[in-house]
Amino acid sequence: MKIGFTVNGTPQEVEVAADMPLLWVLRDVLGLTGTKYGCGAALCGACTVHMDGEAVRSCQVWAEEVAGREVVTIEGLGRPEALHAVQEAWVEQQVAQCGYCQSGQIMQAAALLAETPAPSDAEIDAAMEGNLCRCGTYPRIRAAIHAAAAKLEG
């Protein structure tokens, strides 16, 4: 079916199966590979994007559910030459090791900070629990979220 929605501010129309997950629409159809496939079952959070401002697991959103929605991916949050405050903090804290989960971590953190500008450690735990990092960069993710909160406040 034909589905129209907005990705990173640009209207898109795609012709895909109604049940194709948004993850694969983004990656295979639109070529936006910053959003990662990790588990396909909402267990790892690597595919997190924003849909109408809310963090969602794009592997669990069917294409037909996206019609008319506004989707923001890691590519739309900020660019290497124009970083979002969360990305700036991620660079400064040098969070990534393999980096494969970090698109999802950053999108989840950005959604947390949009809702809760100065999160406590407990609020960070609650918001980030679904985002798995096999390399174990959690201490730096926590530090980067606090640093990004300070940037956004300042």
Partner 1 sequence: MSKATRLTRRAVIVGSLAVTGGLAVGIYALNRDWPNPLEEDLPEGAVTFNPWILISEAGITLMAPHTDLGQGIRHLQAALIAEELDVDLDQPEVTVEPGPAAPAYANRALAAEGLPFMSQDQGTVATIARAASARLMGALGLQGTGGSSSTPDSYVKLREAGAMAREMLKAAAAYRENLAMTDLRTERGTVILPDGRALPYAELAEAAARELPPREIALRAPSQWRLLGRPMQRLDILAKSTGTLDYGIDLTREGMVHATVKLNPRPGGDVLSHDDSAALAVPGVSRVLPVSNGLAVVADSTWTAFKGAEALVCDWGPAPFLPEQADHWAALATALEGPPEKVWRDTGAQPDRPGMPPRDYRAPYLAHAPLEPLSALIHVTEARCDIWVSSQFPGLAEQKVAAITGVPREAVHLHNQYSGGSFGHRLEFENIIRAAEIGTAMRGTPVKLTYTREEDMAHDFPRQIAMARASGQVADGQVQALDLAIAAPSVTASQMGRIGFASAGADSQTVAGAWSMPYALPALRVAGHAVADLAPVSSWRSVGASTAGFFAESALDELIHEAGADPLAERLRLCDYAPARACLEAVGEMSDWGSPLPEGTGRGVAMVLSFGTPVAEVVEVHQTDAGLRIAKVWVAADVGRVLDPVNFENLVQGGVIWGLGHAVNCEVTYADGIAEPTNYYAHAGLRMPQAPEIFVRGLETGAEVRGIGEPPVPPAAPALANAIFAATGQRLREMPFANFIDFA
- 29 near partner 1, judged by CB under 8 A: yes
Interface residue with partner 1 among 9, 10, 15, 136 (CB under 8 A) is 136
- 79 near partner 1, judged by CB under 8 A: yes
Q: Could you tell me if 41 and 95 are in contact, meaning their C-beta atoms sit under 8 angstroms apart?
A: no
- 46 near partner 1, judged by CB under 8 A: yes
- 5 near partner 1, judged by CB under 8 A: no
- 62 near partner 1, judged by CB under 8 A: no
Interface residue with partner 1 among 56, 71, 75, 149 (CB under 8 A) is 75
- 99 near partner 1, judged by CB under 8 A: yes
- 58 near partner 1, judged by CB under 8 A: no
DSSP characters for 89-139? HHHHTT--SS-TTHHHHHHHHHHHHHH-SS--HHHHHHHHTT---TT--HH
Integer angstrom CA distances of residue 53 from 56, 69, 86, 93, 110? 9, 10, 15, 25, 10
